Amino acid sequence: MSEPAQPHILHADLDAFYASVEQRDDPQLRDRPVIVGAGVVLSASYQARACGVYTPMGVNKALQLCPDAVIVKPHFTAYSDASKQVFEIFEHTTPLVEGLSIDEAFLDVHGMELLSGSSTDIAAKLKREVRETVGLPITVGVARTKHLAKVASGVAKPDGLLVVPLGGELTFLHPLPVEHLWGVGPVTARKLHNHGIDRVGQIAALEEDALVAILGKAAAHHLHALANNRDPRPVHVGRRRRSIGSQHATGLSRLPSAPDELDVTIVGLVDRVTRRVRAARRVGRTVVLRMRFGDYTRATRSHTLAMATNETQTILSAIRALVTSTMPLIRREGLTMVGITVSNLENDDAFQLALPFGRRPPRAVDAIVDQVREKFGASALTRASQLGRDDGMSVPLLPEPLPD
């Protein structure tokens, strides 16, 4: 007798990823409330979340809620290594993997029943392999659509496995709070609650025009479809992101003591980002400077280059120009965070080389530096301005490049 059909889309999501890596690597942190970050909470263990700590809360407020929490500076090399190991397990599970971020992905296991068993069996095996091989907890949701698989993993956290049976999708989805729908943040949730809409089923029961009056056309169409489990999107393999960035949050309420110190931070961020862009075999045309000030307001400045590049010096020069143009605002308001992003990315196999050719081009220097760092470690070659600085404060605005 054949087994009943099962849904085939998995959403696998590592639990409190940064905090879990820290607890894995330091036995003294296990079973304790852990907060990863400096100035801003980047990740909180479930012990800290139980006290009301969440991302991106300020660390000072988090400590008021959870005085026993241990504050840990981020170690992005460890997170990147763990992510690569987990994605190797994903890709050994099925060739159809769509990475969403450094710690989550969709997997399509359709047609793998004879080889690997049911989707429930596959999900359970994946959880075991991640725990035994990488030492981290992971939650897996299984459903007929991508959205519902993601909802299922959210409901099952932490370290859970939840399968939404075929035919039972709406029975599972409709009693859930509206916050479980993909795209419902605090602002949208507040608008819905103000109209007495608290459950997903209430959204599904509304005429879409009535929802438009509350949320606007685009959001209403999106949420009405998800509330009725209409999500035809397939799992996309090898999707490439359009930007790569990094930021530095100092927790200071003022500009560093000298402009030179800010420039040192900028140089470190550009080095990190351009290295990632080249590792992903990409080039970008737009550079973006992001800032957060002492009063928690934010500002963004951008510049589009004449041609796409991944050269460190070219991007550094563009970012420095943006910083110079913004310096009066920085001096007046005080700076607590600076970030850079290279966007409008495209593949690096079809872009024009810059002139002149008469001397060793910056690309060749970048390539040599990258090769040394890849072979001997990221700290094998360091700019003089970066000596003695802790690079662990650099916070990715976007995840490390996922395996292609």
387: three-class secondary structure by DSSP? coil
212 CB-near residues (< 8 Å, 6+ apart): 220, 221
Q: Record the tokens describing residue 41, joined without a space.
A: 């909470």
What is the chain's alpha carbon radius of gyration, rounded to the nearest angstrom? 23
Which position among 98, 104, 311, 400 bears the catalytic label? Answer: 104
Q: How far apart are CA 389 and CA 385, in angstroms?
A: 9
Question: In which residue are the tokens 């930007």 written?
Answer: 243
Q: Is 88 a catalytic residue?
A: no
Long-range contacts of 374-382 (CB under 8 A, 24+ apart): 378/77, 378/275
Amino acid at 382: T
- The DSSP secondary structure of 195-215, one letter per residue, reads TT--BHHHHHHS-HHHHHHHH
CA distance 400 to 304: 23
- Using CA atoms, how far apart are residues 276 and 350, in angstroms rounded to an integer? 19
Token pair 């991106």: residue? 56
In angstroms, the first-to-last Cα distance of the chain is 40
Q: What angle do CA 120, 125, 131 make, to 5 degrees?
A: 130
The separation between CA 184 and the C-alpha centre of its own chain, rounded to angstroms, equals 18
Active-site residues: which are they? 104
